[in-house]
Amino acid sequence: MSDETQHRPLRTFGRIKSRPIKAKQAVLFDTLMPGIALPDPKAGPIDPLALMPAARGVWLEIGFGGGEHLAAQAARHSDILMIGCEPFLNGVASALRHIDEGGLENVRLHADDARDVIAALPDRSLDRIMILFPDPWHKARHNKRRLLSDAVAVEIARLLKPGGTLRFVTDWKDYADWALERLERTPGLVRTGNVADWHAAPNDHVTTRYEEKKLGDIAPIFLEFTSSV
């Protein structure tokens, strides 16, 4: 087994806070978060449909940043259960504000390592997985810390329902190449979307604040894969 496929701690994840959380957002951790927090994935398997029995489908966003994309998709698709994972507590605080202001009832949050949630979800339980602008770890010696590894790609294939989709977006060319290589060699995943122009945003894409900052070395690249299993 290669180093990449071994389950090792990644510095990408972990409870992180960079600045004081605003008072109004801090209150939401006490009032709103307890009601929408995902069950502890380390305590056992998670049945997503038990969280929202009437849901028409289940989407997972890994690393939702400030939560504007997650909240916008939740508002557009009120019959879809949206699960969001983000270890950055300031981002969780921002997401709570969006959820509160939008009166969204179809969102569940996990303020910690997404890999624990991935491991706790059952096979063929997700209709869509979204990974938008993950930390690029663009220095060669740090590449092993990237979220999109062979092991995670295999888990994505396990979790998607037949016909379910993965959307991976990055504004770093090297990471796009890295992700494409791993996803294309993962059994059960087939590349779809706009293969001819990977800069073309899907019609339902929601532009994020990070995307507007243009911090990468290239215009956003959109990779879409569908489960063929």
Task: Provide the annotated binding site.
Answer: 61, 86, 113, 135, 139, 171, 208-211
Residue numbers in the known binding site for S-adenosyl-L-methionine are 61, 86, 113, 135
Q: 116, 135, 150, 174: which one is catalytic?
A: 135
**The pair of three-digit structure tokens given for residue 21, joined into one six-digit string:** 């959380």
Q: How far is 227 from 128, CA to CA, in rounded Å?
A: 10
Residue 78: how many other CB atoms lie within 10 Å: 12
Residue numbers in the known binding site for substrate are 139, 171, 208-211
Task: Decide if 174 is catalytic.
Answer: no
Q: What DSSP letter does each residue of the chain carry, written as one string?
A: --TTTS----TT-S-B--SPPPHHHHHHHHHTHHHHBPP-GGGS---HHHHSTT-SEEEEEES-TTSHHHHHHHHH-TTEEEEEE--BHHHHHHHHHHHHHHT--SEEEE-S-HHHHHHHSPTT-EEEEEEES-----SGGGGGG-S--HHHHHHHHHHEEEEEEEEEEES-HHHHHHHHHHHHTSTTEEEES-SS-TTPPPTT----HHHHH--SSSS-EEEEEEE--
Residues taking part in catalysis: 135
